[in-house]
Amino acid sequence: MTLAFIGGTGLTRMDNLQVQDRLQISTQWGAPSAPVVQGELASRPVLFLARHGDPHVLLPHQVNYRANMAALKEAGASAVIAVNAVGGISAHARSGVIVSPDQLIDYSWGRDMTFFDDRSGPVTHVDFSWPFDAALRARLAAALDACGADWVNGGCYGVTQGPRLETAAEIQRMERDGCDIVGMTGMPEAVLARELGLPYAMLSLVVNPAAGKSDTEITMAEIEAVIAAGMGQVCAVLAALVASD
């Protein structure tokens, strides 16, 4: 199995990845956000793609998700782990905690959501009842435990459009809907992976309380501090995951 990692905010590059090549892949849906990096992690071959570009220049709604997923598939990925920086809604989703969600609700709009929009092809629908692969999540759970991570097993990821952060009223609505964390990149990434037959799971680092969940204003300085502290552990978990294969 060749694992592919998609790095989000705070993970444009993996310091523990031994880079061997950078693949410039062109797809029928355009160019991916960045070259697909071929390398070794824990002495095993892996792929890495910076979701927002390298350097980080693409806003969530500007990412060419179809090109990204198609490029990883073409490069030989057999499963995908996506890393996200998210806001915490539920009480257990505190800043610095890693969440491995098992559900999502999509509030985004206007994004290219499918590979099956060619009118000359068959009308295709994929089952998306459980958006994250159970076997891959089980492997992630073992790696998180092995690293002693502070993490939450399961939860609902709410996908918003961005690039602005949410209002307190929007977060209240999402909490009523059952969302535990909020981010901007989980869709259409997850469903595109499903259409390609790629097992897909997430490591979501909570970097701030969502709007209205604290008494202070959300600042980028606070978010960046949590990212700096947490992404090192995320990389360690990914290495442990690869080593267990």
CATH of the domain at 35: 3.40.50.1580
Exposed/middle/buried for residue 135 (C-beta within 10 Å: 0-12, 13-18, 19+): exposed
184 labelled as ligand-binding? yes
Q: What percent of the chain has pLDDT over 70?
A: 98
Q: Is the pTM of this model over 0.85?
A: yes
Q: Is 52 annotated as a binding residue?
A: yes
**Contact call for residues 153 and 180 (beta carbons, < 8 A):** no
209 is in an annotated binding site: yes
How many domains does one find in the chain?
1
- Provide the residue range defining the domain that includes 180: 3-243
1 is in an annotated binding site: no
C-alpha count within 13 angstroms, C-beta hemisphere, residue 192: 24
Is 51 annotated to bind a ligand? Reply is: yes
d(CA 185, CA 160): 8
Would the annotation count 208 as a binding residue?
yes
- 185 is an annotated ligand-binding site residue: yes
Torsion on CA atoms 32, 34, 38, 42, rounded to nearest 10? -110
Q: What is the pLDDT of residues 198-245, one digit of tens each?
A: 999 999 999 999 999 988 777 778 888 888 888 889 989 999 999 987
